[in-house]
Amino acid sequence: MNIIIAFIILPILISVLIPFFNVKVKGIMVLLVIVTNALLSSYFAINSLMGKMYEFLMPGSFVTGIIPIRIDSLSAWFILIINLVFITGSFYGLFYMNAYKKQKNNISLHSIAFLILHASLISISVIQNSMVFLIAWEIMAISAFLLVIFEHEKTATTKAGINYLIQSHVSIVFLMLGFIWVAIKQGNFDFLAITSYVSENQNSAIILFLIFFIGFAIKAGFFPFHTWLPYAHPAAPAHISGIMSGVIIKIGIFGILRMLLIIKPDYNIVGYFILVISLISGLYGVMLAIIQHNLKKLLAYHSIENIGIIGIGIGIGCIGIGSGNQTLASLGFAGALLHTLNHALFKSLLFYTAGNVYQATHNLNIENLGGLIKKMPQTAFLFLIAAIAISGIPPFNGFISEFLIYNGLYNWLQDSTLAALVTIIFSILGLVLIGGLALLCFTKAFGIVFLGNPRQEFYHEIKEVSIFQLIPLYLIAFLIAIIGLYPKFFLKLLEQPIALFAGKITNGDNALPFNSIEVLQPISMAMWALLLLVFLIFSIRKFLTKKQSVSIEPTWGCAYVGSVPKAQYTANSFIRSYRKLFKPFLLIFKHKKDVEGIFPQKSHYESHSYDRIEKLLIDIPIRLLKSFFGRFVFLQNGNLQFYIVYGIVFIVSVICIPVIYKTIIEFIDFLKQL
């Protein structure tokens, strides 16, 4: 109990003191508090993953009642992910924010919001009182909003922050509806009251779960609730983008998993529903990611794609529970939970490297970059590792979690019905297409940004960031590699969380009840052997040629004598075939000036992509709403006499309406007496 009190008091105390420190000390204090609170919460989390469950009953008020704090293995898994991403994010941010050290007041607010965000995310993972849970959720939403709008002097950043805040509150509305429904029926805010209510009202379980699912899906970024995400991620500083993608959207996944455990709806119906939504999310996210020109926006759409992959794992896990197939359930939830960790690692690494690129070039437009591997070799190397991992290629961690999900789908084939067989085929095809498109997207991103020659002349020196700023990135890269090399250790950690959903595992020391997991490590080992062989060959080549003189010449342009950089692929031309193939699903606006005449003048071609779902579900309804209210604009005409009349009408209404209402009631009573 004392540790919990210390966890709450420490961020509050430091938040009060932060404005009095200089910029450098602010960052160090934030890092120390994050590490301290991470150690305190990780102590309980690690013990919970070992099979121990904690329950603390905090004294609430007459409004909230007792506030239960429960730490089970599901909470523990997410606590460890949150702590890991926040430690690396705060370490990276300590150096990233040096570029903004003149903005002392902004950095003070930024630091306080950062501490509060970490505390609120940990609190959401363990609090099981619906009213206090909503308060923590609101604190998380507001603190994340403050972090997103750090550069609030930019109009686009402020708009992105407000967009995020509004949609976060739509999420809160749905969560409130679900919690209020149960509280009215049960008279209790404890999460256990939800289980009691649905056990007595099975017909309400699906509807209640769908209400909660929408609330959490907005935060997670599932299709079609994803429209806030591609704006908030690029607008935020790089370390906040990494944290948003790494853990803030994952808290939506946590909420969905928690409600699956609490509500226990019809798992077959829910499983098919989540599976379909997730397949659409994964495909739609990667399809839009490919056509983006802003590097961070491209990464943001990939968050939607990976949320879809996590959802596919949850979907087949639920179907496994519903059909009594423990192997399918275990594989599905193992893949989903491990991919939650994997995505937190490689996506935060991608955003941090994108932050390095932005600080070096002051530009995130892929079309304007190129050849950065020569100036920023370490950033390029780290970006490449993360790109390979997110594409699901061995020997890195993304391959392991996606392999588990594939394995679950193939296992499902063994006793599938016709309807299940169709679902399996489309699911496998969807996953294959997601993986292939992700590979295309990151081939484009890495090739255009880091390879070739610069496409734009920069009037400042482009150089690698400091080694201290790279340390957390190398730590993440190490974890990405180690999960790919030793997956059994991490699957062992998942034993208890999987058991919450699929039941107790009794297959010896294996983290999952099947033997096919044994094939994972040999695949990873073989890939590492291949990499070592390549490294050995290049080392021998370098040793044999070290005494030879090396000359660097311009790339041969096939007899083209003009500017070679202009003859390179652009990001747009690289995916031209893809863009034409998927044109019916994409919304692209072109601005161009064609080449004309015998002696042509300067031509111009520019394309911009837009989210078709955003246009249908947000832009059109808002436009109709504005049109409707625009019909009443005559009421606000600036004429003082009209405003006096409005006041008189209001006062008369306040006086007359109760009198009229009372008269009507008396008249009805009189008629009843007759």
Residue 552 carries which side chain, given as an amino acid letter? I
DSSP designation for 128:
-
SS3 (DSSP) at 185: helix
Per-residue model confidence (pLDDT) at position 217: 94
Per-residue model confidence (pLDDT) at position 516: 52
Spatial separation of the C-alpha atoms in residues 252 and 49, rounded to whole Å:
21
Pick out the chain residues at pLDDT < 70.
1-8, 10-11, 13, 15-17, 104-105, 505-519, 521, 552-566, 591-601, 603-605, 674
Return the beta strands (E) in 339-448 as ranges: none
Per-residue model confidence (pLDDT) at position 517: 61
Per-residue model confidence (pLDDT) at position 204: 84
Report pLDDT digits (tens) over 381-399: 999 999 999 998 888 888 8
* Count, residues in the chain: 674
List helix spans (H) across 18-154: 23-49, 73-96, 104-126, 130-148
List helix spans (H) across 127-204: 130-148, 155-186, 191-200
SS3 (DSSP) at 316: helix
Spatial separation of the C-alpha atoms in residues 594 and 522, rounded to whole Å:
55
Contact 5, 95 (CB under 8 A): no
Spatial separation of the C-alpha atoms in residues 258 and 328, rounded to whole Å:
19
Q: End-to-end CA distance of the chain, in Å?
A: 68
Task: Count other Cβ atoms within 10 Å, centred on residue 114.
Answer: 30
DSSP designation for 619:
I
**Residue bearing tokens 């606590």:** 79
Q: How far is CA 408 from CA 262, 401, 623, in A?
A: 24, 11, 45
Spatial separation of the C-alpha atoms in residues 554 and 617, rounded to whole Å:
50
Beta bridge partners of 592: 605
Residue 415 carries which side chain, given as an amino acid letter? D
Residue 310: which H helix or E strand, with range?
helix 295-323
Q: At a CB cut-off of 8 Å and minimum separation 6, what does 107 contact?
A: 23, 26, 97, 100, 101
Beta bridge partners of 440: none
Question: Peptide bond preceding 224: is omega within 30 degrees of 0, i.e. cis?
Answer: yes
Q: At a CB cut-off of 8 Å and minimum separation 6, what does 391 contact?
A: 398, 435, 438, 439, 442
Contact 219, 144 (CB under 8 A): no
Helix axes 418-450, 377-390, angle to 10 degrees: 170
Q: At a CB cut-off of 8 Å and minimum separation 6, what does 150 contact?
A: 100, 106, 110, 157, 236, 237, 240
Spatial separation of the C-alpha atoms in residues 585 and 583, rounded to whole Å:
5
Per-residue model confidence (pLDDT) at position 492: 84
Nearest alpha-carbon partner for 479 in 338, 372, 359, 666? 338
CA dihedral sign of residues 142, 148, 152, 154 = negative
Beta bridge partners of 608: 589
Measured at the CA of 481, the angle between CA 232 and CA 429, to 5 degrees, comes to: 65
